Amino acid sequence: MDQITKNSTPNSPSDKSKTQTSIFSLLLELYLKPPSEHEVLLDAALHLLSKYGSRFNASDTLSLLPEDVKIANLNGFFTSRMRHAASAIREEDIRSKLEAARFVQVEERLANAKQRSFVVTDLKMCPVCHKRLGQSVISIFPEGIAVHYGCAKKYRR
């Protein structure tokens, strides 16, 4: 039962785009290889290709087209595909720049964290519970005050 539900409802984005792609391909096939009593709708097919070029697999599409189609008629198809590819490249470029910026930020924070050191002596006391810091895990406030980790959690609440 689960399996049937899963297969009949494409809910992930890739499933959705795959379904859309196959619907577009099906329509194109109907235009170009119609059942015998219907005529080929080349103009409609070319219009579909120029409008939704990125949805089609290029080699499958070219093999469906009649051999006498002029390359000029496929301008729209190729333009649409190139536009889509260019925007995907731009998006990827922006994403990688954002990732690089985030990486630099994390490195800076790590370097800052490494620079901060704190010496705990036997005499240092926790200002929250007034017990010695000792060997316990400690938390350091931005002002440089060390407290027990547990006390810091209580203090912040």
Q: Name which of 16 and 153 has its Cβ closer to Zn ion.
A: 153
Residue with tokens 């649409």: 80
Region 15-44 residues binding Zn ion, contact defined as CB under 5 A: none
How many Cβ atoms sit within 10 Å of the Cβ of residue 46? 19
Q: Is 119 exposed, middle or buried (0-12, 13-18, 19+ CB in 10 A)?
A: exposed
Stretch of 8-16, 40-48, 87-95, 148-156 contacting Zn ion, by CB under 5 A: 148-156
Q: Name which of 32 and 151 has its Cβ closer to Zn ion.
A: 151
Q: Any bridge partners for residue 147, and if so which?
A: 139
CA distance 43 to 50: 11
Q: Name which of 44 and 128 has its Cβ closer to Zn ion.
A: 128
Q: Is 49 one of the binding residues for Zn ion (CB under 5 A)?
A: no
Nearest to 46 by CA among 60, 23, 18, 66: 66
In whole angstroms, how close is the CB of 135 to Zn ion at the nearest point? 13
CA distance 133 to 156: 18
CA distance 45 to 27: 8
Q: Is 148 one of the binding residues for Zn ion (CB under 5 A)?
A: yes
DSSP summary character for residue 132: B
Q: Name which of 55 and 148 has its Cβ closer to Zn ion.
A: 148
Q: Is 151 one of the binding residues for Zn ion (CB under 5 A)?
A: yes
Draw the binding track, 125-144, toward Zn ion (x: CB under 5 A; -: no contact): -x-xx---------------
In whole angstroms, how close is the CB of 126 to Zn ion at the nearest point? 3
Q: Which residues bind Zn ion (CB under 5 A)?
A: 126, 128-129, 148, 151
